[in-house]
């Protein structure tokens, strides 16, 4: 136990005339010391009687390092109570970083994203009037940098995919949406035209080759038949009945008689 004493130039100070905490002077030697009627608190304790915990020392236990946003207190989904996060509705975890029911809430904001970001008017126009604040982002990478618990992915009637997410800060909902849809590329018209032309030319070349092969086969067959017929034929040297010799012999009867 601490020995009670007076001290000071005029003995005006004492080490026992201070406020108490938990029935001890200044909360006990572990929390503070009595110095001339005033509690001098040790690290981690504050207050006139050193009976309160200095929660500022435990604040780092509540901080989450989020890329692009720096240190965030309880993931922006709760308050820090002396190193312990008190989470808002839907959130849990040591730093309120988990939201088990958030995945099922994508549909709650889908209509708002369609009408506010992409200009698609729903059947019930009042749905667009009751939308939370929506922040448009240029790329999916920007959305992922926020490191929100859930990223919603939806596909429209044209096969285009769009992304968005949301968070609840102090019971105020904020939606983040990528302003450009990810649509499948349409057919390349030039490629299709070139393919059709190439196909026609290819078919023409194939038909030409087939025609040449067929012609060659027919010619070869005709030639072989011709050779066979020529081998079987017997050729005779006959006098052409139409041939007339260039000279003729005529006998003169008078001359023949005088000669005899």
pLDDT in tens, 23-39: 899 999 899 999 998 99
Q: Using one digit for the tens of pLDDT, what is the confidence trace for 68-120?
A: 567 888 887 888 988 899 988 878 888 887 777 766 678 888 999 999 999 88
Q: Using one digit for the tens of pLDDT, what is the confidence trace for 144-194?
A: 888 887 889 999 888 899 999 988 776 688 899 999 999 887 667 788 888
Cα separation of 86 and 78, whole Å? 5
- pLDDT band for 65, please (50, 70, 90 cuts): confident
pLDDT at 106: 85
pLDDT at 8 over 90: no
Q: Specify whether the CB–CB gap between 39 and 32 falls below 8 A.
A: yes
Average pLDDT, integer, range 53-82: 81
**CB-side exposure of 88: number of CA atoms within 13 Å?**
16
Q: Specify whether the CB–CB gap between 74 and 80 falls below 8 A.
A: yes
For residue 158, the domain's CATH number is 4.10.1240.30
Query: Does 63 fall in a domain?
Result: yes
- Do residues 122 and 149 both lie within one domain? yes
Q: How many CB atoms lie within 10 A of CB 131?
A: 15
Indicate the pTM of the whole model.
0.42
Query: Does 9 fall in a domain?
Result: yes
Phi-psi map region of 68: left, alpha, beta (phi>0 left; psi -120 to 50 alpha): left
Query: Does 210 fall in a domain?
Result: no
Query: Does 79 fall in a domain?
Result: yes
pLDDT at 257: 55
Could you give the number of structural domains in the chain?
A: 3
Query: Does 12 fall in a domain?
Result: yes
């Amino acid at each position: 136990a601490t020995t009670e004493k007076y001290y000071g130039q005029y003995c005006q100070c004492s080490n026992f005339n201070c406020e108490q905490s938990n029935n001890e002077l200044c909360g006990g030697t572990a929390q503070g010391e009595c110095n001339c009627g005033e509690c001098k608190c040790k690290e981690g304790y504050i207050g006139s009687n050193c009976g309160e915990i200095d929660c500022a020392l435990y604040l780092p236990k509540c901080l989450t390092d989020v890329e692009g946003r720096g240190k965030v207190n309880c993931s922006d989904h709760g308050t820090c109570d002396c190193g312990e996060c008190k989470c808002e509705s839907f959130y849990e975890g040591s730093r309120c970083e988990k939201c088990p029911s958030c995945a099922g809430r994508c549909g709650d904001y889908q209509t708002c994203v369609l009408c506010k970001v992409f200009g698609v008017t729903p059947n019930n126009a009042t749905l667009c009037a009751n939308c939370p604040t929506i922040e448009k982002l240029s790329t999916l990478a920007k959305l992922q940098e926020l490191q929100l618990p859930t990223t919603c992915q939806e596909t429209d009637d044209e096969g285009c995919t769009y992304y968005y997410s949301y968070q609840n800060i102090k019971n105020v909902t904020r939606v983040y949406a990528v302003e450009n849809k990810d649509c499948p590329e349409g057919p390349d018209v030039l490629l299709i035209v070139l393919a059709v032309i190439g196909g026609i030319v290819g078919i023409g070349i194939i038909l030409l080759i087939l025609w040449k092969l067929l012609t060659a086969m027919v010619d070869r067959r005709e030639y072989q038949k011709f050779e066979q017929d020529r081998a079987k034929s017997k050729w005779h040297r006959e006098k052409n009945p139409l041939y007339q010799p260039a000279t003729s012999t005529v006998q003169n009867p008078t001359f023949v008689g005088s000669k005899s």
